[in-house]
Structure 1
Amino acid sequence: MLTLVKRIDRYSLMLLATVLIATLLPCRGDVAVGFRIATSAAIALLFFLHGAKLSRAAIVAGMTNWRLHLMVFALTFLFFPGLGLGFQAVAGAIISPSLAAGLLFLTLLPSTVQSSIAFTSIARGNVPAAVCSASASNLIGILLTPLLVALLMDGGNGQVSGSEVRTIALQLLLPFVLGHLSRPLTARTVERHKSVLSLVDRGSILLVVYTAFSEAVVEGLWTTVPAWQLLAVVLLSAVMLAIVMVVARVAARRFGFSTPDEIAIVFCGSKKSLASGVPMAGVLFPAAQVGAIILPLMIFHQLQLLACAAIAQRYAGRAPDPNEAEDAVIAS
């Protein structure tokens, strides 16, 4: 638990430092063009690694627990977007349109993989089901998130342009598929060098964040986003997270899920992926808007990690139930 919190704190500081560097030293001109090219390559590499890390065993594991996966899917891609529309309507009267759009965008993203599984494991939940749900969420999200963006953030016309489809296919889906198909050659390397791949993974996100915020700073981001609006985003994000976690827990109990299944539902259904969201924003939105769009996602990301760390510890401290292990095996 302590190691996980230390990693969260370190990465949070790195994200904040990246934003600060982009604020003080934004890239411009030809340098910015070079960074955009590097960012495109980093996004492709990021999704290639996601594909390479997703084993077929993870896809198969827990697939029979269809009720749990439907619950996570409903929370991630139905309840969350509906909540996001409501929050955008309220936030639009308080904060800038770009930040309000960012609040909606984060609700359209898939769940995280690594931290959802890690918190489920810490809380003594149904880990095989969490692996399957979180992995499926990311796989589905590559296709579903852009469609939800087009439907809910583009005047409601539900259309995605041909150029956007090609960009999504070339930068996100194709590298992901190639990464997964490469597993006979890369699986051992991926397993052997997890720490190195994690650095590449996080380094790619930091590069995307720096490039996005550089563009936004050059366009005057901090002149249009005062401190009180950032505080408003923090409060709105905290309320949104609290609502989803409470609904996930209540729904899991109302539908008769076991405690290990409830834990998997709470952690997989309430989290949103920074690793998928930042690259997708870079593909789906104009460069000058990306910084403001991903700012609520970065704030929500930190809040969900801190909240889930505390909640996982409380779940882990509950009295052992001899039936839980049996239930988890049956469910998976």
Structure 2
Amino acid sequence: MKLLSRIDPMVRLLVVAIALASIVPATGAARPVVQGVSNAAIFLLFLLNGLRLPRAEVKRGIGHVRFLLPLALWCFGGMALAGKGLSVALEGSLPYLVALGFLYLGVLPSTVQSATAYSSLAGGNVASSVVAAALLNVAGVFATAPLFAALGGGAAVSMGAGGLAKVFAMLILPFAIGQVLQVRLADWTARHKSLVTWMDRISIAIAVYVAMSGAVEQGLWTRVSPLDWAILLGGVIVFLAAGFAGAWLLSGAARLERPDRIAFLFAGGHKSIAMGAPLAAILFPPAVAGMVLLPLLAYHLLQLVASAPLANRLAARSQMSQAPDSPG
């Protein structure tokens, strides 16, 4: 029980969603019902995001251009191209949609909660981390789907008028409503922070369940062999290492102070399943979404596993550099 309690609650929910989809997938007459529940949950998720992001923080964060500009370029430029490269490199070794998932992973924005938590643990600039991750997620609402289509995902998703309308109705509109209602509901959101967090997690888990149900119906566990899983895991590890290393080197090139470099590291190396799972449910049919999400699901787990010891090591080094010289 102690070991279970140490596992991130989001990871536990994702495992439950995948297991449930494998045992009792939403198929046939149940699929439209579950899809409707998922759509409502996604709408609620982005409504809550709009409620929680104070406009004053957005305005303050936008002023830190030397931090935000290279971070945005890395997140939607460097990481997107790395995802494209891995997608092309692995296309002959993995099922097409799974390989395409690396491109989808590359164009996603950073996480908010985990990047901020690990930045705080490592001694990073928490304010910069919170605002940067939040702004990247706002940008991701507008940029991720068109960028994915432009870099070669057009075979899986068509960003025509219908696609743009779905993105607007399910992501942008509820976020805008949340921002408008923020003045009236900010106190309620603050008082019920735990409830809102769990509503977030459950919304994401529902989206993953729907996507995985479609993939299971299409033969996920027979189409993806053990060798495919090993190659997938290897690709995710390479992408994770490139994400963290590139973010650290770029923050150094930008001459950021160490606390900002640490915030940059986690915001630049993490990828958001809170954006990725709901957006995939909107853009792709369930059978496609489940396969495309496989790299993101593996990445989400590994970024949490890698970030804990990395944050501890950075924190230890920061304490050593700040410690007074010993006498003698």
TM bracket (short chain):
over 0.9
Matched position secondary structure for 1:317: helix
Measured in 1, the distance between the counterparts of 2:166 and 2:158 equals 15
**1:149-197: CA deviation from partner (whole Å, max 9, x where unpaired):** 22113459x9721111111110110001111211111111111111111
CA RMSD of superposed structures (Å): 2.1
How far the C-alpha of 1:17 sits from its partner, in A, is 2.2
Structure 2 match to 1:328: none
Measured in 2, the distance between the counterparts of 1:146 and 1:38 equals 22
Measured in 1, the distance between the counterparts of 2:68 and 2:175 equals 22
Instruction: Confirm whether residue 90 of structure 1 aligns to residue 104 of structure 2.
Output: no
How far the C-alpha of 1:322 sits from its partner, in A, is 6.0
- 8 Å Cα contact 2:110/2:271 also seen in 1: yes
How far the C-alpha of 1:120 sits from its partner, in A, is 1.1
Structure 2 match to 1:286: 285
Matched position secondary structure for 1:318: helix
How far the C-alpha of 1:65 sits from its partner, in A, is 2.0
How far the C-alpha of 1:311 sits from its partner, in A, is 0.9
- AA partner of residue 163 (structure 1): G
Structure 2 match to 1:295: 294
Measured in 2, the distance between the counterparts of 1:155 and 1:47 equals 25
- 8 Å Cα contact 1:63/1:129 also seen in 2: no
- AA partner of residue 39 (structure 1): S
Instruction: Confirm whether residue 151 of structure 1 aligns to residue 150 of structure 2.
Output: yes
How far the C-alpha of 1:305 sits from its partner, in A, is 1.1
Structure 1 match to 2:253: 254
Structure 2 match to 1:42: 41
Runs ≥4 in structure 1, deviation > 4 angstroms? none
Measured in 2, the distance between the counterparts of 1:196 and 1:24 equals 28
Structure 2 match to 1:183: 182
- 8 Å Cα contact 2:123/2:318 also seen in 1: no
How far the C-alpha of 1:41 sits from its partner, in A, is 0.5
Structure 1 match to 2:124: 125
Q: Unmatched 5+ residue regions in structure 2?
A: 324-328
Structure 1 match to 2:326: none
- AA partner of residue 77 (structure 1): F
Measured in 2, the distance between the counterparts of 1:184 and 1:256 equals 37
The 5-angstrom pairing of residues 312-331 of structure 1 reads: 312-320=311-319
How far the C-alpha of 1:127 sits from its partner, in A, is 1.4
Measured in 1, the distance between the counterparts of 2:172 and 2:212 equals 25
Measured in 2, the distance between the counterparts of 1:109 and 1:190 equals 26
- 8 Å Cα contact 2:66/2:254 also seen in 1: no
The 5-angstrom pairing of residues 188-207 of structure 1 reads: 188-207=187-206
Measured in 2, the distance between the counterparts of 1:250 and 1:209 equals 33
Instruction: Confirm whether residue 67 of structure 1 aligns to residue 66 of structure 2.
Output: yes
Measured in 1, the distance between the counterparts of 2:290 and 2:59 equals 37
- AA partner of residue 245 (structure 1): F
- 8 Å Cα contact 2:212/2:286 also seen in 1: no
Structure 2 match to 1:99: 98
- 8 Å Cα contact 1:61/1:128 also seen in 2: no
How far the C-alpha of 1:307 sits from its partner, in A, is 1.0
- 8 Å Cα contact 1:60/1:132 also seen in 2: no
Structure 2 match to 1:24: 23
- AA partner of residue 119 (structure 2): T
Measured in 2, the distance between the counterparts of 1:132 and 1:12 equals 24
TM, length-normalised to structure 1: 0.91
How far the C-alpha of 1:272 sits from its partner, in A, is 0.6
The 5-angstrom pairing of residues 240-251 of structure 1 reads: 240-251=239-250
TM, length-normalised to structure 2: 0.92
Question: Taking every aligned residue pair, what percent have the same amino acid on both sides?
Answer: 33
Structure 1 match to 2:6: 6
Measured in 2, the distance between the counterparts of 1:16 and 1:230 equals 16
* Number of residue-to-residue matches in the alignment: 320
- 8 Å Cα contact 2:76/2:109 also seen in 1: yes
**1:88-121: CA deviation from partner (whole Å, max 9, x where unpaired):** 1111121110100111101111111111111111
